[in-house]
Each structure stands twice: as C-alpha cells, then as structure tokens.
Amino acid sequence: MLLPSRDGAPAAVEVSHGSAQARLDQPYDSARARDEGRLEKGRSSPAEVRETFGAALDAQPPRPVSFTVYFLEGKDELTAESLPVVGQVFAELARRPAPEIVVIGHTDARGSHAANDPLSLQRAERMRDELIKRDVPGERIHVEGRGKRELLVPTADGIAEPRNRRVEISVR
C-alpha cells in the first residue's frame, strides 16, 4: 500500500514477487502477492486504509521536524529573529515523550577551516546547552560542527553570508 506523502510530494515504489513486478505510483495503490507467483494491483480508498490499518497508522512515531536558527557573525550568539524558533523547538520537544535531537553547527565562508570548525561546534554546543537547561537529557542530543563545508547559500571563500551562520536542529 502506498500512502500519500504528508508534504504532497510524489512517491513511488516497485513491488516484486517472483518474476512479477508492479509499480505503485499513486496514493492508495496496492499490490497483493498471489501464491502462483503473480501480483494483483489494486487501489483502496482513504476510508478503507483507515479501517484496515488504523491501529498501525496511529502507532507510528511523529515524523522528524527540523528547525534552523541563525547566529551573529563570529559568535555563538543567536540573532533576535531566531529566538522565536528556539521556542518552537521547545514546543516540539514537549510533544515527544523521548525525543532524539541532532544539532549541527555551520559557519559562513569567512575565515579558515581552523577558525570555523571550532566556531560551528561551539554554536551547536550552545544549542545543546540550552536544550539541557530545559531538561532534555544530554545523551539524547548528538552534536556536530561542519564549519564552512556545507553552505546553505553557496558563496566564494571569504564571503560573509548571514544565512550560512546557522545551527540546524532535527527532532525525531
């Protein structure tokens, strides 16, 4: 059964049984394997899927959610515009009984790798410390710094770009 994606993006899956194959590329397409080595393709309605798979669908964990906060140049201090995003992170954490968090720090292209690598990690650690202050267990937080290696906005080396001075927080 191919369920619709939550964001509306197209999806498809190939199903194989013996030498038989079926492509499911529309929401609620299904394929059923038959004993004689063939696939029977079908389609269900949302109501039929809910009736058959409702308990399993309800038991799924929430999908991961990502947030991005931005920092002042050369510092581990958040921009004023990022403060409301931090509140959104804490609200999302409150909805999850046992969240796992990945925090990845970045810098812009100004400065050397030797300067930017520690700064990106310092930014990520700053966010980890904020999470720990809000009673998130430290062992649930994975922290990394990527320096200027993964620019959100491609720029030449040495160019300051505020959107690259960021920390990405993934909550799952």
The residue-averaged pLDDT of 82-86 equals 96
Q: What is the pLDDT of residue 62?
A: 83
Are 93 and 118 within 8 A, CB to CB?
no
Helix (H, G, I), strand (E, B) or coil at 162: helix
C-alpha distances out from residue 61 to 3, 100, 142, Å: 16, 12, 19
**Residue 145 forms beta bridges with which residues?**
105
Q: Is 45 helix (H, G, I), strand (E, B) or coil?
A: coil
Cβ(49)–Cβ(138) below 8 Å: no
Residue 54 CA, distance from chain mean position = 25
Element (H, E) at 144: strand 141-145
Q: DSSP letters along 90-142, please? A: HHHHHT-SS--EEEEE---SSS-HHHHHHHHHHHHHHHHHHHHHTT--GGGEE
Tell me the whole-structure pTM to 2 decimals: 0.75
Q: What percent of the chain has pLDDT over 70?
A: 100
Beta pairing partners, 23: 14
Residue 10: pLDDT over 90 = no
pLDDT above 90: residue 123? yes
Asked if pLDDT for residue 89 goes beyond 80, the answer is yes
pLDDT value for 158: 95
Per-residue pLDDT at 134 exceeds 80: yes
- Between β-strands 13-17 and 20-24, what pairing exists: parallel, antiparallel or unpaired? antiparallel
